Amino acid sequence: MKSLSSSRRRFLESSLAAGGLFALDSASAQDADPGTRQATGVKVGEVSDTTAVVWMRLTAEAGRRAQGYAPKFESLPKDVRPDQVRYACPGMEGRVRLRYATRENLSDAVATAWQDVAAKTDFTHQFALNSLRPNSTYFYSAESAGRGGAPVHKPLVGQFQTAPAADQYADVSFTAISCTGFRDLDHSDGYHIFPTMARLNPRFYVHTGDNVYYDSDDLQANSVATARLHWQRMHGQPRQIAFHLRTPGYWLKDDHDTLANDCWPGQAVKRMLPLTFNDGLAVYREQVPMSRLPYRTFRWGRGLQIWLMEGRDFRSPNTMADGPKKSIWGAEQKDWLFKSLLASSADYKILISPTPIVGPDRAKGKNDNHSNDAFHTEGNEIRAFFRKHLPERFLVINGDRHWQYHSVHPETGLHEFCTGAGSDAHAGGSPGYNKKFHRFHRVLGGFLSVSFRREKDRNTLRVKHHDVMGKEVYVHAWRG
């Protein structure tokens, strides 16, 4: 594993005192600094060579509530408020701003204007940063204050790196995860995979979807308030906060963090009413840093470009008869994807999908993704496009399935790598090893890492499967 640079480690250690940052490698992360009021941390996302989006949320307390009602696979009783649930992080009215700079001491910092936050947006605000320097490290201080600007709280401090310019080569590595249900946590302070990924020092990470489980976790969401509570519990964990303070991300959503299993637009789930599909879309956009469109692409130098797909907003009902009009991606997104892939000059192109395109999936009862018969027509269309126009140096990363695999589609040669579930307890459901498709198959939790390297005019892209503690369990490489 690649260790953190000494300068980066010094920054992280100094941050403990300056702003309540949590310990990097400890088995039990430290409590929040009592002077802070950001119990759900800070998230930097949508990073390009010159832009980024920084998400902040003001909370009533410094950390998550250690005591409270503990739901067991149920909706909240009518006499229990969301802020009375264990690990809730209730919000507070006040103000937030961001100071950021390329110098660690922030002596050249740019400061945003103070922004008021209130209950309408769950006390969140997203700062869109522009005119950043490519391939540069930025340090930031996320600052908050009460209503009217007083009192001023202790800030949280962190850092992120911008992408290299599109015409420049640079080594880049990132990680990808999926399926992080709260009831299947493997540590009381958060998932093992977060400090494990941090030790690899990725430039960014991707959560491919099912960030939370509204319909099937130990708290069933049936209102906007309880949907927000899911995000508070997940992102109020010390390990997640520490990771996000130094690693920017890109977030995708899938069915469970939209509404319910295998959902589509307009669908109503009786046991979750009055929470609706559209409510789920709004809460998701509120809880993570986002671009204007849910599908987007980001270039990381000459060597690498990623495409992030949206799999819920535009899909046809799963129950619709298959045919040329049935779609998961929708015509506009699909047209954008095909045109932007053809226009790209990146050496390696990676499509990141919340759901499988190759699979294979479980045969019985599955009708939700491009590897299923229910979307056979569109699945064939997109795989044929990839074979014709992107025969080399193109691959798919997907989430959703609770087992790790590397598959190669028998007819088109399309490579697909599934991240697997976030913990061993959350893994399962695989149809088993399929020698026609699989190059690798493992039914345990973990994550993916991807690294691009340029050495003496030769490029190498490596995709690795890791277990939850970081051990490499499979590697596949392209060289050219």
- Whether 357 and 311 have beta carbons less than 8 Å apart is answered as no
- Residue 167: left (phi > 0), alpha (psi -120 to 50), or beta? alpha
Burial level of 365, CB count in 10 A (0-12/13-18/19+)? exposed
Cα 279–Cα 283–Cα 285 angle in degrees, nearest 5 = 120
The conformation of residue 368, written as its DSSP 8-state character, comes to: S
Least confident of 21-25, 77-81, 364-368: 21-25
**For residue 307, is pLDDT > 50?**
yes
Taking only the tens place, the pLDDT of each residue in 43-92 is 999 999 999 999 999 999 999 999 999 999 899 999 999 999 999 999 99
DSSP-derived pairing of the beta strands 172-177 and 204-207:
parallel
Residues 307/351, Cβ–Cβ less than 8 Å: yes
Strand order across the beta sheet in which 304-308 lies: 296-300, 304-308, 348-353, 394-398, 415-418, 404-408, 438-442
Q: Which CATH architecture has domain 6-479?
A: 4-Layer Sandwich (3.60)
For residue 389, give the H/E element and its range.
helix 376-389
Looking at the DSSP bridge assignments, the partners of residue 177 are: 207
Residue pLDDT, tens place only, 368-426 = 999 999 999 999 999 999 999 999 999 999 999 999 999 999 999 999 999 999 999 99
**173 contacts 217 by C-beta, under 8 angstroms:** no
The residue that leads in pLDDT, 365 or 339, is 339
DSSP helix/strand/coil, 376: helix
Is the pLDDT at 95 greater than 90, yes or no? yes
pLDDT at 33: 86
Flag the least confident range among 109-123, 154-168, 358-372. 358-372
Q: Is the pLDDT of residue 23 over 60?
A: no
pLDDT given at position 22: 37
Mean pLDDT, residues 112-141 taken together: 98
Share the mean pLDDT of the chain.
93
| Domain range list for the chain | 6-479
